[in-house]
Structure 1
Amino acid sequence: MKKLKTPAIVAAGLALAIGGAAQAQDFPERPINLIVPFNAGGGTDLLIRGFAPHFAEALDGDVFVSNTAGGGGTIAAGALAGQRPDGYQLGYFSITVSTIQPQINDVPYGLDSWSPICSVAASPTVLFTSESSPYTSIEEAVEAIRAAPGTLLYGSSGPGAITHLTAVAAFKGLGVIDDVRHLPFQGSGPALQGIAAGTIQFFGDTEILMQGGGLRPLVVFNSERLASMPDVPTATEIGIEPPLNELYLWGGFFAPAGTPPEVVETLSNACGEAIASDGFQAFAEKTNTVLNYRNAADFDAFYRAQYEANGAIIEAAGL
């Protein structure tokens, strides 16, 4: 037999519902903090400072940017994970901070620590060799690796970095990961010097490196060929199977898990408006930023799929 709700209970329920709707309608009532997990002046910092005014305009509220550096981004992420889930603090985290570091290091956050808000930028990674190298295709590179096991090297900006995982995805996917050696550098700059000097033969990063010259792309980790390099095959085309066939250097905003759905929706919609604004589009074109907006639901699904896929690459990398 059903129990009848008393008028007091009904009134309380209505009050909560009205209160929640009012809270969503009034949000934001104070400034929102966009947390950059690196020092001021870097690429991520510049991106978020370029985004902030357009985000504020879309929200019809105030936004400010703060920097919390350390631990390759994990200090900021760990601190945010423990904050109140009210939507007033958002962290801009990359693929590395959100899906790789939690799987290779002891950090105070994991897969379910977040309410994803939106993705902002995403660039597929590319495996490069030197423009002066004898390898004009990925097939020639693989043939050379097999002909002299342990002789050729790929570089990275550090173990576990996206530059490391790109090369692992390529060589693991092509069955030669045990025949090529890894030489980590302290950052991408020294690694690029290494490939220019011939110290390493391969390096993975995004297509933006092509602007500097001196590099030849061999394979792109995207669902389709890039307009900027139409003759370069995708990983799928050369036989690299999922989940190693697609890899993106992406970033997006996260709030602590438990952020109210109506607040997440408000933030997600404002993010989309900001990204589509003429001002931010002009900023992206000027800085060669590849924008890729996903709303909260799509970004959550993408983030979880990336977490799983990157786990396979991490395992292949021996991390």
Structure 2
Amino acid sequence: MTLRKTILVSAAIALSAAIPAFAQDAASFPTKAMTYIIPFDAGGESDISARFQQAEWNEHTGQDVIIQYQPGAGGAQAWSQLNDIAGDGYTIMGINLPHTILQPLEGDAGYKTEDLTPVHYFHYTPNAIFVTADSEFETLQQLIDYAKANPGMVTFAGSGSKSANNLGQLEFDSAAGVTTTYVPFSGTGPSVTAVLGKQTTAGFNYATSAMAQGDALRMLAVASDERMPAFPDVPTFKELGFDIVGGAYRGVAVPASTPEDLRQRISDIVAEINADPDFVKKMEDGGFVLTDITYDKMPDFVAQMTAEYSEGAKALGIGQ
């Protein structure tokens, strides 16, 4: 090879390396399989909902999505590394609230809330109060009456301290004018096991927790706007006079270097899947509540949730 050809080839290689992989037209994206990182272990709500999406991804894009797990530090390990990934659109990551607001407020999580780039929040799992099927408490009011007569004696098992369950319990105490005791466990599974084993009076867990328990648990109230299709006989807190709606929101994020058109395209794909009747049925049957917080709505939504969770963090002793 002549010196001139060598220079030309080297220049071409350098030029191709300098051209970002995302230079393709976003309208044709994706043209190959994508990687979907879940920042938790397999089997949890984040994994289940992503698996439901995975089944629809190829139908809506013509390409597969491959799920990988990167658990650690309650999701912080993966989120702290998100921006190290190439922003070509081909790697997306699950993202959760209130985790990504509360973790940086509590201390050095390896990332800040504003470092992350969520493009779509597609569902949430509402908080709910559970008791065993043979519990003396058949209604929420009965539990409230007992809690008022016995301050601190009602114990709630929940998934982790300083979590959506913990925030929900504090909100319930304030709204109902009671004092209860929150008992944190390492995850949804152990906290539900504690309720079933009557280690606590009740559980302040996600509504999805009831799906695998059959008739062993009784749900007294759920923090959704409307009654859930999976639990048509369970009243909402709002029905019972308490303005309590919330739980853990889950969505999809991308590296900060991802260009705007690809961010919007990925949000559009998630929105299409969210509207698919098969996906809707799977999610609702599984106890999830669909949302459709698209990329264009993200700044206002994150600002709103940051304000709400920052206020709740004060009650948890975070950031003081």
Fold-level similarity (TM above 0.5): yes
Measure, in 2, the Cα distance between the counterparts of 1:298 and 1:172: 30
Residues 206/150 of structure 1: CA separation in 2 closer, same or farther (3 Å cut): closer
Measure, in 2, the Cα distance between the counterparts of 1:205 and 1:148: 22
CA apart distance, 1:156: 1.4
Asked whether 1:134 is paired with 2:136, we answer: yes
Measure, in 2, the Cα distance between the counterparts of 1:300 and 1:56: 29
Note if contact 2:207-2:287 (Cα within 8 Å) is conserved in structure 1.
Answer: no
Partner of 1:308: 307
Partner of 1:238: 241
Measure, in 1, the Cα distance between the counterparts of 2:223 and 2:154: 21
Partner of 1:263: 262
Partner of 1:317: 316
Amino acid at match of 1:164: N
**SS, match of residue 90 in structure 1:** strand
Q: Deviations over 1:66-124 (max 9, x none)?
A: 22111111111110034344423211112243233232242122232233222232232
Partner of 1:9: none
What TM-score, normalized by structure 1, do the two folds share? 0.78
CA apart distance, 1:307: 2.7
CA apart distance, 1:23: 4.0
Partner of 1:149: 151
Note if contact 1:127-1:167 (Cα within 8 Å) is conserved in structure 2.
Answer: no
Which is further off, 193-202 or 39-48? 39-48
Root-mean-square deviation (Å): 3.0
Measure, in 1, the Cα distance between the counterparts of 2:216 and 2:48: 26
Residues 77/216 of structure 1: CA separation in 2 closer, same or farther (3 Å cut): same
Partner of 1:24: 26
Measure, in 1, the Cα distance between the counterparts of 2:87 and 2:280: 30
Q: Deviations over 1:222-268 (max 9, x none)?
A: 2234452456242475244xxxx221322110113353221112111
Amino acid at match of 2:305: Q
Amino acid at match of 1:234: F
Matches within 5 A, 1:49-64: 49-52=51-54, 54-61=56-63, 63-64=65-66
Asked whether 1:183 is paired with 2:186, we answer: no
Partner of 1:8: none
Gaps of 5+ in 2: 1-21
Partner of 1:204: 204
Partner of 1:118: 120
Measure, in 1, the Cα distance between the counterparts of 2:81 and 2:225: 35
Measure, in 1, the Cα distance between the counterparts of 2:312 and 2:99: 15
What TM-score, normalized by structure 2, do the two folds share? 0.78
Amino acid at match of 1:191: S
Partner of 1:166: 168
Residues 235/283 of structure 1: CA separation in 2 closer, same or farther (3 Å cut): closer
CA apart distance, 1:315: 2.0
Amino acid at match of 2:147: I
**Count of residues in Structure 1 that have an aligned counterpart in Structure 2:** 294
Note if contact 1:155-1:183 (Cα within 8 Å) is conserved in structure 2.
Answer: yes
Residues 42/287 of structure 1: CA separation in 2 closer, same or farther (3 Å cut): same
Note if contact 2:120-2:298 (Cα within 8 Å) is conserved in structure 1.
Answer: yes
Amino acid at match of 1:232: P
Q: Deviations over 1:197-243 (max 9, x none)?
A: 33211212233334422333333222234452456242475244xxx
Amino acid at match of 2:193: Q
Residues 196/41 of structure 1: CA separation in 2 closer, same or farther (3 Å cut): closer
**SS, match of residue 92 in structure 1:** strand
Note if contact 2:132-2:195 (Cα within 8 Å) is conserved in structure 1.
Answer: yes
Percent identity, aligned pairs only, is: 22
Measure, in 1, the Cα distance between the counterparts of 2:284 and 2:143: 33
Gaps of 5+ in 1: 1-19
CA apart distance, 1:55: 2.5
Asked whether 1:98 is paired with 2:100, we answer: yes
Amino acid at match of 1:185: F
